[in-house]
Amino acid sequence: MGEEAAHDTTRRLSDVIPGRFGDPVSVQYAWMSPENAEAMPTRPLFLALHGWGSNERDIAGIMQYIAPYAGAAIGEYFMHKGKDVLIVYDDLSKHAIAYRALSLLLGRSPGREAYPGDVFYLHSRLLERAARLSDERGGGSMTALPIVETQAGDVSAYIPTNIISITDGQIFLESSLFFSGHRPAVNVGLSVSRVGGAAQTKAMKKAVGTLRLDLAQYREMEVFTQFSSDLDEETKSQLAYGQSLMYILRQGRSAPLSQGQQIVTLVTAMAHLYQQVPVAQVCALRDFLLGEFAAQRQSLMLQLEQGAALTDEVRQQIVDYDRIKAENEAYKALARIQDSNTE
């Protein structure tokens, strides 16, 4: 959920990268337009409408309405074959607009924002087709990832609130974060999971700790300190800690981290290890530590990947090892090279 400029394309593609969910069948479609409608799964309908004399502009609107159901039908085929399916609806805001246009042409009574009264049912029956089948029925599953575009960051609009009430949570992408270089531009405060920690492994749940609370405090303090130039040392330290947390959450395009890498990164971040370098070098230090940890602590990394518990002993091993690596001459040399390249 977010504005069009918040780069939701890269965010959803990171969910489809092979290996992220094992090896799923991914059913993904693009919205129809006069340029690409003929190439979509609904091509037979496109040809039929074109043969009946409909112009391409009308056909595009019809395709916008039909496309998610065609995608869901293809996904259900693989689900009943025992496969795990991820289907991305991009985006349901345009789907609602297409349905509104069709309803108004049919003379149906408009409701809020001129949408027909059953627009909620339109999306609820679509998203509730996602399911997990029992072993007797093949054990397949279909996970729905709907995309919703907001206007000026307004999550209280009609369609966004409908989707929020149907789904198990939302990831809110904020354009201001995107333009400031923070990508993926996830707003931690507005992003919610109703599943909660049930979807996390025990190690991940323990590694996260107070991360969300720390980020919320940092954002509040950042706004407050914009109007003050005289800051005490404690405030400066808290701001530096918050900035380091923001930077370690940045990811390269189509470069998701494994569970073990996430746990190592979070543990070291919560131990304030990234505060010992300039903010601009935080990502370089993170990548350096992950590379060293994977090369020298392969057995521990494998245990974390397989869901081992994050005990106090394991946490201390991660912190002690990474602290030594962060302070050694190898990283200092790396930092000097990057500083010279920047200059």
Note down pLDDT in tens along the chain; length 343 residues. 777 655 555 555 565 554 444 555 555 554 534 344 444 545 555 555 445 444 555 566 777 888 888 888 888 998 999 888 888 888 888 889 989 988 998 898 888 889 998 999 999 999 999 999 999 998 899 989 898 888 887 888 899 999 999 998 888 888 888 888 888 888 888 888 888 777 788 888 888 888 888 888 888 888 777 776 677 888 888 888 888 888 888 887 777 788 888 898 998 888 888 877 788 888 888 888 888 888 888 888 888 888 888 888 888 888 887 666 666 644 554 555 455 555 5
| Cβ proximity of 289 and 281 under 8 Å | no
Torsion sign (Cα): 44, 46, 47, 48: positive
Percentage helix, strand, coil, to 5, in the chain? 60, 10, 35
Length of the chain: 343
Whole-number pLDDT of residue 74 = 87
Record the tokens describing residue 237, joined without a space.
Answer: 């330290």
| Cβ proximity of 65 and 102 under 8 Å | yes
Whole-number pLDDT of residue 217 = 86
- Residues known to be catalytic: 194
Whole-number pLDDT of residue 339 = 56
Whole-number pLDDT of residue 255 = 77
Q: How far apart are the first and last CA of the chain?
A: 38
What is the secondary structure of 122-160 as a DSSP string? HHHHHHTT--B--GGGT--EEEEEE--B-STT-TTSHHH
Whole-number pLDDT of residue 208 = 85
pTM over 0.85: no
